Structure 1
Amino acid sequence: MPASSENLSIGIDFGTSNTVVAIADQEGRVEALTFDHQGKDLKVYVTALCFWDERHGNGIRTEIEGGPWAIDQFLEGLTAHRFIQSFKTFAASQSFQETRIFRERYRFEDLLGAFLRTLARHGGSRMDFAARNVAIGRPVQFAGTHPDDALAMSRYRAAFGKLGAEHAHYVYEPVGAAFFYARQLEHDATVLVADFGGGTSDFSVMRFSRSGGVLRAEPLGHSGIGIAGDSFDYRIVDQVVSPRLGKGGSYRSMDKILSIPNHYYANFARWNQLAMMKGSGDLKELRALARTALDPEPLEKFIDIVEYDLGFALYRAVSSAKVALSANDETEFRFQGEGVDIQAAIARSDFEGWIAGDVARIAGAVDQALENAGIGAGEIEKVFLTGGTSFVPAIRRLFVDRFGESRLTSADQFESIAYGLALIGQAENPERWAVGRH
């Protein structure tokens, strides 16, 4: 696709773990925007931020990097820094008002705006939001216990608007994936799209037809749930890691023996919350507990993980174990750093027991999408699966049992949503697909 092409549209899949940007032209050609990082062209921009202080003249200024450059800065660790990941999970949270990073306070829209500025800087001239037709993905239901949809969208609009995307169209993420998949269809079909992200699982039922060579689409029903890849990670941390860091232990208060509060471990097992623990009061409270704990050593290891910013290394270890369990009946979990050494064998059967409740709730959301569409499972001709969690065997079985192996298909786990969003930007009436417009 020529870089000078006019009338390009941009599709942005801002994800919990990864972000992808796609560019489409009027001829229907679409490609992922690539980022030149250490001589490699990356199509996936890690959804992460790193803040650090740097001296400029007689003063100190906070610098910010995003994506793989944030990870580089974090791993170098030459100065004090804050590393934040999975912050999309805070989008619809009323309880998350702000976090303090060095001398400044950041609301969710400030974090998102900072991230988007790094994305635009590394993306180059084609990331001109003001001059392009922009379609931005959003979950059917945001993550969180009581997600506030209106709050999340106001935060999105504030952050994207400051970059010139005031008139962007916000589209359900599985609808974007459906548009990407529909280009493969050779006949009319009713399609269920299942999009598994880091924070949410979203489902859309779409009816596609062709008339006069023009692809037409009708949305029949949607549903979503705040359970996805990060929830499965939570189960591994909760079952394998936290018990080795003092979970279930006790401390002495006056003349009483009390249980160590579980909420520290609930925060620890969620990547977005773990990234904030160092800047909250949790670390100070954990140190106080360690001084009175009956067995302080596990708590001291917990403190070291937070104090030395080992959350990203833990995230990698947990993700590696989860991926391994998709291909093997058992894997060896291994996490090391700053004197903390955790090893444990994990059987797939145990993992599937831990996530059974999550899988059941995901199954309920699939049924809800069908109910909202007013159709039965037998009327679905194709099921399009996208997202890394779709490779988890328990999730795969859920769809095989309901729809049969022959009706399942999948594509690139990262790029399909962004591609479809960019194509929607080139549609005759892209506003038709904006949430709340149909």
Structure 2
Amino acid sequence: MDNSGGAAALGLDFGTTNTVVALADGVENSRLLEFAGADATGAVFRSALCFWEEETGWNGVAHEAGPWATAEYLQSPLDSRFVQSFKTVAASPLFDRAMIFNRPLRFEDLGRLFLQKLVAHAGGQLDRRPARVVVGRPVEYAGARADPALARQRYDLMFRAFGAEIVYVHEPLGAAFSYAARLTEPATILVADFGGGTTDFSLVHVGEPGVSRRCVPLASSGVGIAGDRFDRRIVERLVLPLLGRGGQYRSMGKVLDIPGGYFAEFADWSRLAMMRNRRTLEELRRLQRYAIEPEPIGRMIALIEHEQGFPLYDAVGRLKRELSSAEHAEFRFMGEGVHIAAEVRRADFEEWIAEDLQRIEAALDVALARGSVAEHDIDRVFLTGGSSLIPSVRAMFERRFGLDRIATGGELTSIAHGLALIGGQENPAEWAAQP
């Protein structure tokens, strides 16, 4: 591969939900890469993969990524495997490999296949990439037993052929660089990045325009709670009760609660697609035979077997978006014998995610404490990421910092823009995240 492209650096925001690429021509300017083709969605490339069996494919399995993965899935859902939010397992020691049509794929395999298609759909713009690639990473990885060293190892394997010089930078720091380009005077800024898998904070001092090192990191913090967790709360309330959650089964003369692990997996976008395997389905069918109420477990089996994860994800996302602009909305999902139509008030949704927001706010307090910065010393608060549009999320910052100090914009693209700008610096390692 020839890495001698005209750009000085490439910024890659590999997100849980979406991926965005930006190219920098120096320290001050960067441009977003627009993807080409009938199914393209501008600069936003969905962080998803779709697999199907095909002799000409890699190891007998063909694949697509981004919006093209969605298109392939919708064309033939029963004959495909749709994988999304796979970044969530990057730091998980519990994840070893995904079985896709009986082919084992590790995280780095999924990542390399994803990057392969990202390059292919860039219309030649990534065929000759800059040697320097700045990749965003969360401050704190998702998962109860997240292992940053394991995530770094997997990232290294995923990106090793993508650029000669790979630099990892905390994602909110990338957003800080992007926002700093708007400022004309020194400021202490707080960046809150609400991704799909994590919420991260960075405190940054921004100097006068033109100084050699304009952005100086002061502190960072994060928590593995964000958009996917909010989705999970909706699924827990509206979907899982119809699939057997809270039910019981008979075993050796006893009546026992149905294990919660199946429902936890079903409500996790990164794991739902992996449930379509022989072992899990056999366990669920055995459970169905002994369940006090077998019909709900049968519904879960049908949804898994018929690859209904994406339609469910789409319905949940639509509800969240509508509740961001209206006081109530209807949740609608129809698939394989499961029909749900429920009116949901914004107040209900806010109650469901209240504990999650408390943990996010606690992570914010950690960033302020680490930086020894008081709330009144923050000049600007920059909110980025899709979940920053949720009213109760925004209200948290308005309550603490006041409306006049809050700024938004480029919710899905600001991180990539800033990462590219960092790559254009003389020594981007000054902003690199430690393993």
- Length-normalised TM-score, structure 1: 0.94
The answer to whether the 8 Å contact 2:98/2:106 transfers is yes
Q: Structure 2 vs 1, CA of residues 36 and 124 (structure 1 numbering), >3 Å: closer, same or farther? A: closer
Corresponding residue for residue 152 of structure 2: 153
Aligned partners of 1:5 and 1:138: how far apart in 2? 24
Deviations 1:250-273 (A, max 9, x none): 222232222211111111111111
Aligned partners of 2:210 and 2:61: how far apart in 1? 56
Q: Which amino acid aligns with 1:44?
A: V
Task: Identify the match of residue 187 of structure 1 among 172, 185, 188.
Answer: 185
Extract structure 1 runs of 4+ deviating beyond 4 A: 211-215
Task: Identify the match of residue 218 of structure 1 among 212, 216, 219.
Answer: 216
Structure 1 unaligned spans of 5+:
none
Aligned partners of 1:266 and 1:211: how far apart in 2? 49
Task: Identify the match of residue 323 of structure 1 among 321, 324, 332.
Answer: 321
Q: Structure 2 vs 1, CA of residues 103 and 293 (structure 1 numbering), >3 Å: closer, same or farther? A: closer
- Length-normalised TM-score, structure 2: 0.95
The answer to whether the 8 Å contact 1:191/1:384 transfers is yes
Q: Which amino acid aligns with 2:28?
A: G
SS where residue 309 of structure 1 aligns?
A: coil
The answer to whether the 8 Å contact 2:89/2:95 transfers is yes
Q: Which amino acid aligns with 2:73?
A: F
Q: Which amino acid aligns with 2:378?
A: I
Structure 2 unaligned spans of 5+:
none
The answer to whether the 8 Å contact 1:180/1:417 transfers is yes
Q: Which amino acid aligns with 2:251?
A: S
Cα RMSD of the aligned pairs, angstroms, is 2.0
Query: Any residues of structure 2 matched to 1:253-292 within 5 Å, and which?
Result: 253-279=251-277, 281-292=279-290
Q: Which amino acid aligns with 1:146?
A: R
Deviations 1:258-311 (A, max 9, x none): 221111111111111112111363222111111222221111111111110000
Q: Which amino acid aligns with 2:46?
A: V
Aligned partners of 1:140 and 1:197: how far apart in 2? 11
The answer to whether the 8 Å contact 1:49/1:66 transfers is yes
Q: Which amino acid aligns with 1:62?
A: V
SS where residue 208 of structure 2 aligns?
A: strand
The answer to whether the 8 Å contact 1:157/1:166 transfers is no
SS where residue 37 of structure 1 aligns?
A: coil
Deviations 1:374-431 (A, max 9, x none): 1111100000000111111111111011111110000111100000001111112211
Query: Any residues of structure 2 matched to 1:81-230 within 5 Å, and which?
Result: 81-128=80-127, 131-161=130-160, 163-210=161-208, 212=210, 216-230=214-228
SS where residue 311 of structure 2 aligns?
A: helix
Aligned partners of 1:258 and 1:21: how far apart in 2? 50
Aligned partners of 2:80 and 2:291: how far apart in 1? 30
Query: Any residues of structure 2 matched to 1:230-379 within 5 Å, and which?
Result: 230-279=228-277, 281-379=279-377
Aligned partners of 2:312 and 2:235: how far apart in 1? 9
Query: What is the CA distance between 1:166 and its match in structure 2?
Result: 4.6
The answer to whether the 8 Å contact 2:10/2:130 transfers is no
Aligned partners of 1:73 and 1:91: how far apart in 2? 25
Aligned partners of 1:166 and 1:342: how far apart in 2? 50
Aligned partners of 2:123 and 2:229: how far apart in 1? 34
